């Protein structure tokens, strides 16, 4: 029940969601201290121009999917939080180009985050739930999770690995579009890592294939492909407006319903290929 046509919605996403990483010239980060931590190169420079990209949700329905080879055939693969590869290659592949992590993981699970080899592959991006349309200064003073010290520790021990901080403006620009296109009132919490990762890849790639964000015939109450934990809220959302995110992604899907059913696969154009 989205209000805009898929074409118009893609244009809104392209034109109103500004996907940028925090740079040394941004507000409170323009200090000599921060200059030594923030990556010198932009994300665009680091990844180059990407063709076909895959976004791999962490959903339980990836289990027994045998999608590993297909996922690895992409030019770049984005994964989330602590989603593992070891022991799950057959279903989720092994390539990791970008890992998007939330600030809770970086802060609450700091010791694991700093120690586990899982995080040492590819480009890292961390995001934090900011107050609604807050200025960077305001957010910097009161982040949802104060991940800044953990970020600095990680950068000190892995100076060669690109590690970006997502500009928090993006989450609310995206949330506004979700709200405008829903009949119901959406709780004012930021979109899930999944939805943020999809839009990040749409800015970097020619085409984006999303796996098990819209669940396939393997849909299950098991939260993650790598855990035994059951909770329907994982797929439908509790804190994050997941249900609304999924409705929007379904609306702009350029693949077939058959692809969703059998592979949990959605096909989205990169913004370069959206003509408004
Ligand atoms: O579970 P999480 O998400 O890491 O999953 C990553 C993204 O995959 C999509 N997903 C996941 C499970 C499922 N059954 N269906 C799905 O569609 C979602 O798009 C999800 O965003 C997050 O978004 O950052 C989240 O992070 C976890 C947790 O913080 C991390 O895994 C780190 O441990 C949150 N869980 C809790 O706080 C308990 C989750 O709510 C959101």
The CA 185 to ligand 1 mean position distance, Å, reads 22
The CA 191 to ligand 1 mean position distance, Å, reads 11
pLDDT bracket for residue 232 (50, 70, 90): confident
pLDDT value of residue 27: 92
Q: Residue of the nearest CA to atom 38 in ligand 1?
A: 234
Q: Residue of the nearest CA to atom 18 in ligand 1?
A: 194
The predicted complex's ipTM stands at 0.99
CA separation for the pair 103, 252 (Å, rounded): 29
Q: Whole-model pTM above 0.90?
A: yes
pLDDT bracket for residue 214 (50, 70, 90): very high
Residue 181 has pLDDT above 70, yes or no: yes
pLDDT, tens digit, for every residue of 33-86?
A: 999 999 999 999 999 999 999 999 999 999 999 999 999 999 999 999 999 999
Q: Using only C-alpha atoms, what is the Rg of the chain?
A: 18
Q: Residue of the nearest CA to atom 34 in ligand 1?
A: 234
Q: Is the CB of residue 266 less than 8 Å from the CB of residue 260? A: yes
pLDDT value of residue 236: 87
Residue 141 has pLDDT above 60, yes or no: yes
pLDDT value of residue 1: 54
The burial of 182, by beta-carbon neighbours within 10 Å (0-12 exposed, 13-18 middle, 19 or more buried), is given as middle
| Substitution site in 102, 127, 128 for ligand 1 pocket (most atoms within 8 Å of beta carbon) | 102
pLDDT value of residue 32: 95
Helix or strand run (H / E) with residue 210: strand 205-211
The CA 59 to ligand 1 mean position distance, Å, reads 8
pLDDT bracket for residue 3 (50, 70, 90): confident
Q: Is the CB of residue 239 less than 8 Å from the CB of residue 195? A: no
- Ligand 1 environment, Cβ below 6 A: 57-60, 80-82, 102, 104-105, 192-194, 213, 223-224, 234-235, 239-240
Whole-number mean pLDDT of the chain?
A: 97
Q: Which residues contact 54 (CB under 8 A, 6 or more apart)?
A: 71, 74, 76, 77, 78, 93, 208, 209, 210, 211
pLDDT bracket for residue 240 (50, 70, 90): very high
| Block residue for tokens 């796996």 | 211
CA separation for the pair 74, 70 (Å, rounded): 7
What are the beta bridge partners of residue 208? Answer: 53, 268
């Amino acid at each position: 029940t989205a209000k805009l046509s898929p074409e118009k919605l893609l244009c809104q996403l392209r034109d109103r969601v500004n996907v940028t990483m925090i740079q040394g010239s941004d507000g409170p980060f323009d200090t000599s201290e921060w200059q030594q931590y923030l990556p010198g190169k932009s994300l665009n420079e680091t990844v180059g121009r990407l063709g076909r990209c895959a976004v791999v949700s962490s959903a339980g329905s990836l289990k027994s999917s045998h999608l590993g080879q297909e996922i690895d055939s992409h030019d770049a693969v984005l994964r989330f939080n602590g989603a593992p590869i070891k022991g799950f290659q057959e279903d989720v592949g092994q390539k990791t180009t970008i890992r998007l992590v939330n600030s809770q993981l970086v802060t609450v699970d700091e010791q694991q985050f700093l120690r586990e080899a899982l995080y040492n592959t590819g480009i890292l991006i961390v995001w934090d739930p900011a107050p609604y349309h807050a200025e960077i200064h305001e957010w910097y003073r009161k982040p949802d999770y104060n991940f800044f010290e953990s970020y600095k520790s990680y950068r000190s021990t892995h100076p060669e690995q690109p590690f970006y901080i997502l500009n928090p403006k993006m989450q609310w620009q995206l949330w506004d579009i979700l709200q405008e296109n829903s009949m119901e009132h959406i709780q004012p919490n930021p979109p899930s890592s999944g939805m943020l990762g999809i839009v990040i890849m749409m800015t970097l790639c020619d085409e984006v294939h999303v796996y098990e964000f819209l669940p396939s015939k393997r849909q299950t109450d098991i939260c993650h492909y790598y855990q035994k934990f059951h909770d329907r809220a994982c797929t439908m959302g509790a804190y994050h407006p997941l249900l609304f995110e999924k409705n929007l992604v379904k609306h702009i899907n350029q693949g077939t319903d058959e692809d969703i059913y059998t592979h949990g696969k959605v096909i989205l154009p990169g913004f370069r290929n959206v003509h408004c």
